[in-house]
Structure 1
Amino acid sequence: MAARVRDLTESIISPAREQERWCAAEADRILSERGLRVDEVGRTRLARAVSNAIHRASLTLGQAASGDFSSLPSRSFPPLAKHGAAGSYQSKAHVLKPARLTLSGLFEEWWQEAKNAGRKPSTHESYEKTVRYLVAFLKHDDATRVTAKDIVDFKNYRLKTPLKRTGKVPSNKTVKDSDLAALKTLFGWAVINSKLPENPVGKLTLKVGKKQRLRPKGFIESEAQAILSAALHYVSGEREDVRTAAAKRWLPWLCAFSGARVGEMGQLRRMDLRREGDLWVIRITPEAGTVKTDEARDVVMHQQLVELGFPAFVAASAEGPLFLTPGKGGDVLGPLAGLLNRMREFVRPIVPDPNVQPNHGWRHLFTTICEEAEINPRVYNAIMGHAGRTVAESYGDVTLKAKATAIRRLPSFDIEKLRAIASGRREMHGIASFLDAADPPS
């Protein structure tokens, strides 16, 4: 009798154990395919979910086999068409295709989540450009068709294809930090969110050698003087927007005395300048557009900017941005990107050296000037919007008083020298025009 009970018990338990092992193996397969790692509790929960899904499916199939389709969505059963004399029935050819996953669509889905997490508009611009390059290279926009070989071929193509704007081939660093980084992030997000089974970028990377440094990263004194002279004497074009002309007049000076990013100053609004006692204070804030650290900061204006009339210019300006016209719906970031391009175009002929960035050279120069003036690094980093280098530097605040003391130590630029530079430039321009007129092209 006992033996019969054991046999009966085993006949009941064995299938259950087999099903348990199968569900556990299926859970492991799912986790492996998606590149996920969980603890034993999570693994057990997933195995139970698999078991429940199989149980529900078996019940549904059993009902369908007996002719009861009430638990199934009606779209699963397309209309039946009668065929043949015998009156047999055959399903119409009707297949529901899954929604197509495009690379551009994948990027937009990722961006909606990334934007909410605080990723910068510059990231959107960079990633979107990479996706456009990849789609053009592949000649299709289907994310599900992208293979690891496609990515390797794309990398090699980018490394040997000159850019239309500059005529230069992208560096290893550009392809690694822009293209590969963007694609690795996008496809990784797609895998985590169960949109793709694997990341075709995988562990692909690119070796970057140390770049030769042929000159200082910032503007040297003569370059800074040439730019400030051009800004001081700038005359707007006949059809140039008044805000663009104002940007060329004031942005170089604002950046020279603050080390701020050109975009931070380019998005300034009339309301961002205020008077506190004998100080003029500029408020740089993400509310105006974008700030890399997502933190607002105050910059005390140098006395030479006051003497040149910047507060008077602001007082005479209309409400809203000083240097750009917002786009549809009040968009600032699009017009700001255009303004940054126009500022590069303004500075590049003055400083043609490709080894210095036209819109970033001021930050390096400002640091150099502050070091020469023996200003406390914590103070000038706070003015520039740099994060603290240590935990200790996050304690306490760099006050307006400390910033004002530092700004007063910065030397003014020699206006007479700047005027002489402008006069020499006009003289050279006049000679060039005379020579062109005297020797017209054949």
Structure 2
Amino acid sequence: MAIFDGYLRERQSSPATIKRWRPVITHLVDHLGHDEPRSISADDIIGWKEALARQSASGRTIREVYLAAAKVVFAWGVENRKLDANPAAGVSVRVPKRHRPRGPSFTSAEARTIPSASLSRDQSKISREQALARRWIPWMCAYSGARVGEIAQMRGRGIIEVEGIWAMRITPEAGSTKSGQARIVPLHPHLVEQGLLRGAEQAGDGPIFYDPARGRGGSAGNAHYKKVGERLAMWVCDLGVDDTHVQPNHGWRHLFKTIARRAGIDPEACVIAKSRIVLSMRM
């Protein structure tokens, strides 16, 4: 669909967005039997929604993936005078409130299990980079609240010293960030004490937690660092931290926010003010 390609060009969408949304638009075109956006009506979108439901797509997926993508693309078409109206506007799916038997963060026991296992010296059956990922990524996530993908893409040069304070530079250039913005996050002194700087120094300009030369190709839409996160998640599940209501990699971020709120600190604030780290978390 030309309108989708136009949206991608102007927005300069990330490979991950393209990979996620192109099948959505392709599915819509296949359902309609044509790719002329001016001929699409609200009834067509409702029919598409109902067809997705018959194909066993969950209500949440229909709402948050299929309809969300269509609404954004068609809205771009209206803004650029390629459409008179957005046919997906106002079309939604009523989704029952999700029942959570527990919160999304790790329990205290789970939060101890993973770092403890990361200290194991029995790493002979995995690559050096995979061993480094197990050793450091859980700790870095626990102490910073950063996303696993942001840490997994970290390069050696991303560990920097700012006015005497060690920090990590999280940048879109290394892989991706959810906001698309770079930021500098202070390293907890405990990470420095444990020897993280040595691993960063050895990596140099390259990634710390994977070897591009040894990877199986990778691509912009399926980057190496994502595979690092997938392998790490499988390892965490193998440790017994396998409750399906908790994401094995994202649990650290939720735990960080929980502890920050408990301490009366804004969980989104990781601040270096006048060379002083004012946000610190101890396990």
- Does TM-score exceed 0.5, indicating one fold? yes
Q: Which runs of 5+ in 2 are unaligned?
A: none
Q: Secondary structure at the match of 1:382?
A: coil
Q: For residues 233-248 of structure 1, what are the structure 2 equivalents within 5 Å? A: 233=120, 238=125, 242-248=128-134
Residue of structure 2 in register with 1:322 after alignment: 208
Residue of structure 1 in register with 2:68 after alignment: 181
* TM-score, normalising length: structure 1: 0.54
CA–CA separation in structure 2 for the residues paired with 1:315 and 1:218: 32
Does residue 411 of the first structure (1) align with residue 260 of the second (2)?
no
- Does the Cα contact within 8 Å between 2:145 and 2:257 map onto a contact in 1? yes
CA–CA separation in structure 1 for the residues paired with 2:159 and 2:96: 44
Does residue 206 of the first structure (1) align with residue 77 of the second (2)?
no
Does residue 345 of the first structure (1) align with residue 234 of the second (2)?
yes
CA–CA separation in structure 1 for the residues paired with 2:47 and 2:3: 21
Given candidates 245, 257, 272, the residue that maps to 1:355 is: 245
**Aligned-pair CA distance for 1:203:** 2.2
- Does the Cα contact within 8 Å between 1:268 and 1:321 map onto a contact in 2? yes
Residue of structure 2 in register with 1:38 after alignment: none
CA–CA separation in structure 2 for the residues paired with 1:322 and 1:227: 20
- Does the Cα contact within 8 Å between 2:143 and 2:282 map onto a contact in 1? no
CA–CA separation in structure 2 for the residues paired with 1:309 and 1:275: 15
Does residue 152 of the first structure (1) align with residue 46 of the second (2)?
yes
Does residue 287 of the first structure (1) align with residue 158 of the second (2)?
no
Residue of structure 1 in register with 2:28 after alignment: 134
Q: Secondary structure at the match of 1:248?
A: helix
Higher relative helix content: 1
Cα displacement string for residues 296-346 of structure 1 (whole angstroms, at most 9, x for unaligned residues): 332222233223321111122242222245598995973333333333333
- Does the Cα contact within 8 Å between 2:155 and 2:203 map onto a contact in 1? no
Q: Secondary structure at the match of 1:206?
A: coil
**Aligned-pair CA distance for 1:130:** 2.0
Q: Secondary structure at the match of 1:222?
A: helix
CA–CA separation in structure 1 for the residues paired with 2:51 and 2:124: 40
Residue of structure 2 in register with 1:268 after alignment: 154
When Rg is computed on C-alpha atoms for both structures, the one with the higher figure is: 1
Does residue 369 of the first structure (1) align with residue 242 of the second (2)?
no
- Does the Cα contact within 8 Å between 2:153 and 2:174 map onto a contact in 1? yes
Q: Secondary structure at the match of 1:176?
A: helix
Q: Using the aligned pairs only, state the percent identity.
A: 33
CA–CA separation in structure 2 for the residues paired with 1:364 and 1:321: 26
Q: 1:294 to 1:199 in 2, by over 3 A?
A: closer
Given candidates 165, 170, 192, the residue that maps to 1:306 is: 192
**Aligned-pair CA distance for 1:270:** 0.8
**Aligned-pair CA distance for 1:375:** 5.7
- Does the Cα contact within 8 Å between 1:273 and 1:281 map onto a contact in 2? yes
CA–CA separation in structure 2 for the residues paired with 1:202 and 1:332: 28
Q: Secondary structure at the match of 2:144?
A: coil
Does residue 399 of the first structure (1) align with residue 270 of the second (2)?
no
Q: 1:375 to 1:149 in 2, by over 3 A?
A: closer
Residue of structure 1 in register with 2:11 after alignment: 114
Return the structure number with greater relative CO, CA threshold 8 A, min gap 6. Answer: 2
**Aligned-pair CA distance for 1:254:** 0.6
Q: Secondary structure at the match of 2:184?
A: strand
**Aligned-pair CA distance for 1:284:** 1.9
Give the aligned CA root-mean-square deviation in angstroms. 3.3
Partner amino acid for 1:323?
A: F
CA–CA separation in structure 2 for the residues paired with 1:346 and 1:129: 30
CA–CA separation in structure 1 for the residues paired with 2:33 and 2:134: 42
CA–CA separation in structure 2 for the residues paired with 1:343 and 1:147: 45
**Aligned-pair CA distance for 1:204:** 1.2
Q: 1:406 to 1:112 in 2, by over 3 A?
A: same
**Aligned-pair CA distance for 1:120:** 5.3
CA–CA separation in structure 1 for the residues paired with 2:273 and 2:161: 15
Would you say how many aligned residue pairs link Structure 1 and Structure 2?
278
